[in-house]
Structure 1
Amino acid sequence: MEKSAGQTVSPRDPNHVMQLHRLGAFHQSRLSFMRILLRRLQGEVWTFDRPVFDIDARGVGRAVYSAHGPDRSYSLVAFANDLPPEKRSDRVIATEWDATFTLFDGVPTTEDLDRLQDNVPRQEAGRISEKELSLSRANRSVRLWDHVVECLSHGRQPDRQKVADVGYLMRTTAVYGSGKFGAADRDMTSDRPEFLAPFQVEMLSVFLTRAFVMDLVEHMASMRAPDTAVPLDPDLRRRFGIGNSTGLGMAPFLLNHPALLNNWIAAREEALARIRSLETAHAPEVETFRRFALRARLHAEEWTSDHPVQIEKLAALRHDTATLLAHLDTVDLTADMPWNRLWLWSEIALSVEGQELLASLLMEPYPHLVDDLATCMAADEPATWRINGAMPLDDLRALVEDIYGWALGIDWTAHKAQARIWYTSEAKLEPRLGERFEEDLDAYEQPLCPGRDAARMYTDLQTSDEATVAGFLMRHPEHRHVARRAQIAGRLPYAEIRDNTIDATVMPIDMLRLKLSFFGACHFDPRSDRWVRINMYQHAPFPHELGERSGDDWAYPFLTEGVV
């Protein structure tokens, strides 16, 4: 990724950025995958229709939502269920859900729908084909669902505060793609322009799922009382997103895809560096930034959580937004590298939460400096896997000292330093985090602590008389995986999390939040240190509104008249 013309500020040091406490403070931005998708859908004037909606009064049946682009069409196929309360669970071990979905490549025939109906509701127990690109499921937020149906059926709108407190009517418990359960592998679609950016299949699936959920709740209200029922007010309707429950299964992804992680972070850091390098700012850009800062304050005020760690972060964030707005009233942001001055001020005046929010806010006035970076965020990971055996061993030592220097000072014999252990559950093949000294799991450990493994390799490097990496690995094949990681991170500076991922105090939710921020999720609400609820597409336009409302400017609440 090359510097833009006139860029004088370099991207931030990976030793500073790639620590878990900072990665766990990232926020959505112009480079988040939901916003990348909706910008494309709007810019290319995609059209949408609903060729099938066979749902009865109980909310049971099937529906199809199709998206038509310049070259191809895709369809969300939805199967709705009347799930008894005792069967409703967000856990991965669940076997039934309120709704199940697949994203179909094209527009399905009746024969396709019948085949999918035999398999999609079964999820892991069924099988789909290469004509399907994703598989997902969702459960109702029961109390809010019943409230909305009841209100609409009686001709009135639901309580705004109740809507704000929850923010969604259904939450997904998994959105699978990339070849799982028979679905098309990413290699089959990665060269399509609409799917060049990461996770665009999954983001399209969730976008259409949100449309289905809102249509379903209005349909059930209408079926209950056809003479009195009303649809949701459009402004209130947009306040509903799609919830998501995400657990440990997402965390190892970042460690297992170092090149992809690098490209996400590198794009974000390059965008920030470009903006900090600007010598001047025009008044409209300053005003745009100020209005986004005001909207970010509203966003922070609406964000709630019962988790102690998140409560502390939210308190810091709200203080930071107030501090930022007060500072904006006193500072000149038009000249003398204004955004760099603002950034340097933030490193002293704001918490990590506030600094990383500022990084996102600074991108908003500058789509021409930011949006092109979306094309750099995918990765051809197999191309990075080959180990350079000809590398002189002194070069590998230097790489370890540079990339894993933080790990070389840790006493890895201490119980605290290696208290946790990553393994894969036999029942669901899902990642799990155990207690090393309380459970007999050593035989099942996954290589998900690069820092410890690099320190172990470094010990052997110090006593090796081999000249090359190839010779060293012939004697020490147990270090192949971390030698590979070191060489990757030597080329791709943001490829490695520079923190201890098995420490007694590790917070896996930091890794979850990092990934989800790049999805574009908001309102992170940890339920423990290992799983989190979020909201996706809240405030976004619906498919039928994309021509009228911005597909990009929706991630923060809008200001009401008189807000300053």
Structure 2
Amino acid sequence: MPQARTFRRDPDDVMRLARMGCSHPTRLSFLRQLLRRMQSEGWGFDRPVWDIDAQGVGRAVYRAVGPVRTYSLVAFAHDLPDHQRSDRVIATAWDATFALFDGTPDADDLDRLAVNVPLQEAGRVTPNELSLSRANRSVRLFDHVVESLAREQQPNADMLLETGYLMRTTAVYGSGKFGAADRAAIVERPEMRAPFQAEMLSVWLTRSFTVDLVEHLARARGGANAARLAPELKRGLGVGNSTGLGMAPFLVRHPVLLNNWMLAREEALARVRAQEVVGEAEFAGFLEALRAAQDNALLWASAHPIQRAKLADLRDGLARTMAHVTERWDRCSTYPWDNLWRWGQTSLSLEGQEALLAAMLEPHGDLIDGLGDCMDADEEAHFPIDGAMRVGDLRAILRTHYAWALDVDFEARANTARFWYISEDKLEPRLGERFDEPGAERELPLDTGRQAAALWRALEGKPGDMPVAHLILAHPEHRPALRRAQIIGRHPFAEIRDNLIAADMLPIDLLRCKLAFFGATRFDPRSDRWVRISLFQGAPYPEMMTGRVRDA
């Protein structure tokens, strides 16, 4: 009897850092969810405040008006000397600073925000604000665009494509930081239920501000005849972002949320693979997605050796896929999408496989978009430990989900070479070298593999029917590992199945996985610990949506 097909990937394969570090944005990415909702619900947009002088200093307000609520990006433009411009988190001044306001701010709100928002961490906002952010100009390109428009010319298209943004954010804070509203205050709102919707809205409106600012400065310099940025060039611009280790531990600290992100994507892939035919519309959409991925991959550039190798793999994988799809793929076979996927697993690198996944999902919106509603998580509901669980059941979970960790020699220096800690300067996560740097005594509990292996050893000789409460009463140090084991027993994609303190662990893999779920493109690592990316590149602007932008 032939073996039944299975369309779902094994978490042991999916949750390895090498694969997670090849993630690509999909139509389930959070910025795509935001754009679809605003488009389908007919949101309106305007700019009720534009008080920017000829030097590009002042304030502006951009409103997004939904069916029930309004959100306003309050932007402050500054005159920043070149020597103060830095992408580092320890910077204290920026070209622009922003807050996403819940509602429409009045004059008093704007004055209060003008005092605090430019200070960022040194200031304080209130629960009326949903996010706090800042951005710096991409100086060479920004100045080139202003000069070109002022001379009634369009900027060099190749320069715009090379960089891809006029400004890049260096932090977008939300979820209660520095006094802003906690996520719990907004999570029941339909438009905010998906993860990071407030932050994505802030960045999307920031994109409009960056274009408005260069056009304003061009008019101030060149007069009323200054050109406006051509629509096709404008759409090719996103918002850059520089980010580093500060976001890396997020995926470890939020296991249920990680599970739901990965599970939604894996369910989407399984649904596509289970389709018995390839419709003409789906085939055309798939080819369009592949071509767009090839064009996008040509825009990526990096001097980092790891990323250069991955870029080569990506471009090669996309070329192989296009050749296979157009010349050899039998679209009339049984389960053609599954056959294509199985070909990719044997013929493509990890970069190529994950790019194929994103392209396969793209034309199947009706089939998979609803999965976006499953990507949030009530993590508090899964925090309590079940003390009645039997030791035998716990052993079974550890064997099933932590086999990758149980045989690791955590006495070997290479397997414990790193430690995670919080920096004193900015209270941000950092990664230290255990045998070369001080501070390991303040290590964060992100060594999930080592903890699971220690819990496994603690179970030796314990009767299988013993409640785990007895173990934890005697050895409370194993509570975190027990909690994670119980979570992963119900959420198989909750754990990264790699040693996060090993000498060869690449933090950039954590960053890329999370940023791909945001919807980021053009990954440009500057080391294995920080990266520049672009958000909303190619996406519509407010005036291209259902509503219109109306200047004050």
Q: TM class, shorter-chain normalised?
A: over 0.9
Using the TM superposition, give the Cα deviation of residue 311 of structure 1 relative to its aligned residue in structure 2, in angstroms.
0.5
Indicate if the aligned counterparts of 1:281 and 1:335 stay in contact, CA closer than 8 A: no
Choose from 38, 44, 59 the match for 1:41.
Answer: 38
String of CA shifts for 1:307-357, please: whole Å, max 9, x gaps: 111100110111111111111122222441000000000011110001011
| Paired positions, count | 543
SS in structure 2 of the partner of residue 119 of structure 1: helix
In the TM superposition, what is the alpha-carbon distance from 1:403 to its structure 2 partner? 1.1
Task: Name the residue aligned to 1:311.
Answer: 308
Match of 1:499 in 2: 498
Q: Take 1:308 and 1:548, find their aligned partners in 2: how far apart are those partners?
A: 45
Check conservation: 2:290, 2:322, Cα contact below 8 A.
Answer: yes
Separation (CA, whole Å) in 2 of partners of 1:24 and 1:296: 17
> How many angstroms does 1:8 deviate by?
6.1
Note the 1:251-290 alignment, pairs <5 A. 251-290=248-287
By how many angstroms is 1:171 displaced?
0.3
Displacement after TM superposition at 1:467 (Å)? 0.8
C-alpha distance in structure 2 between counterparts of 1:130 and 1:20, whole Å: 36
C-alpha distance in 2 between matches for 1:210 and 1:111: 26
2:198: which partner in 1? 201
Q: Which amino acid aligns with 1:376?
A: C
Q: 1:391 aligns with which of 389, 392, 401?
A: 389
The 4+ residue runs of structure 1 with deviation greater than 3 A are 7-10, 463-466
Residue 501 of structure 1: SS of its match in structure 2? coil
- Runs of 5+ in structure 2 lacking a partner? none
Deviations 1:151-175 (A, max 9, x none): 1101101111111111101000000
Residue in 2 aligned with 1:355? 353
Which residue number in structure 1 is paired with residue 16 of structure 2? 19
Which amino acid in 1 is paired with 2:146?
A: V
Equivalent position of 1:380 in the other structure: 378
Which shows bigger deviation, 300-309 or 133-142?
Answer: 300-309
Kept after mapping to 1: 8 A contact 2:54/2:217:
yes
Quote how far apart the aligned CAs of 1:287 are. 2.0
1:169 partnered with 2:169: no
How many Å separate the matches in 2 of 1:402 and 1:283?
41
- Structure 2 counterparts to residues 12-411 of structure 1, below 5 A: 12-328=9-325, 329-411=327-409
SS of the aligned residue for 1:341 comes to helix
Aligned to 2:249, what secondary structure does the other structure show? helix
Q: 1:546-561 residue pairs with structure 2 within 5 A?
A: 546-547=545-546
State the 1:205 CA deviation. Answer: 0.3
Q: What's the CA shift for 1:11?
A: 2.1
Following the alignment from structure 1 to structure 2, what is the Cα–Cα distance between the partners of residues 124 and 286? 49
Matched with 2:432 is: 434
Q: Aligned letter for 1:462?
A: E
1:548 shift after superposition: 9.4
Conserved? CA contact 2:78–2:95, under 8 Å: yes
Alpha-carbon deviation of 1:393? 0.8
Whether the aligned pair in 1 keeps the contact of 2:137 and 2:168 (CA below 8 Å) is yes
Contact 2:7 2:338 in 1 (8 A): no
Q: Give the counterpart letter for 1:21 in structure 2.
A: A
CA contact (8 A) 1:246 1:531 kept: yes
The alignment's C-alpha RMSD in Å is 1.3
Is the CA contact (8 Å cut-off) linking 2:44 and 2:547 kept in structure 1? no
- 1:211-236 deviation digits (Å, cap 9, x = unpaired): 01110011011011114411100110
Give identity over the alignment, percent: 57
The 2-side partners of 1:450 and 1:313 are apart by 27
Quote the Cα distance in structure 2 between the aligned partners of 1:28 and 1:67. Answer: 24
Deviation larger for 286-295 or 472-481: 286-295
In 2, distance between residues paired with 1:89 and 1:294?
36
| Contact 1:283–1:334 under 8 Å retained in 2 | no
Aligned AA (1:412):
F
On the 8 A contact 1:28/1:518 being kept in 2, the answer is yes
Distance 1:445 1:332, change over 3 A: same
Q: Which amino acid aligns with 1:480?
A: R
- Deviations 1:340-389, CA, capped at 9 Å, x for gaps: 00000001111000101111111111111110000000000000111110
Structure 2 equivalent of residue 467 of structure 1: 466
Question: Counterparts of 1:298 and 1:395 in 2: how far apart (Å)?
Answer: 50
The one-letter code sitting in structure 1 at the alignment partner of 2:297 is A
Q: How big is the shift at 1:463?
A: 3.5
Name the CA distance, whole Å, in 1 between partners of 2:68 and 2:222. 42
Q: Distance in 2 between matches of 1:293 and 1:234?
A: 24
TM-score between the two structures when normalised by the length of structure 2: 0.97
Task: Determine helix, strand or coil for the equivalent of 2:459.
Answer: helix
Could you say what secondary structure the match of 1:133 adopts? strand
TM-score by length of 1: 0.95
**Distance (Å, rounded) in 2 between the aligned partners of 1:506 and 1:69:** 43
Letter in 1 for 2:182: D
Structure 1, 62-71 or 300-309: larger mean CA deviation? 300-309
In structure 2, how many angstroms separate the alpha carbons of the residues matched to 1:377 and 1:196?
Answer: 9
The whole-number CA distance in structure 1 between the counterparts of 2:240 and 2:266 is 28
Unaligned runs of 5+ in 1: 1-6, 550-564
Which moved further from structure 2: 374-383 or 292-301?
292-301
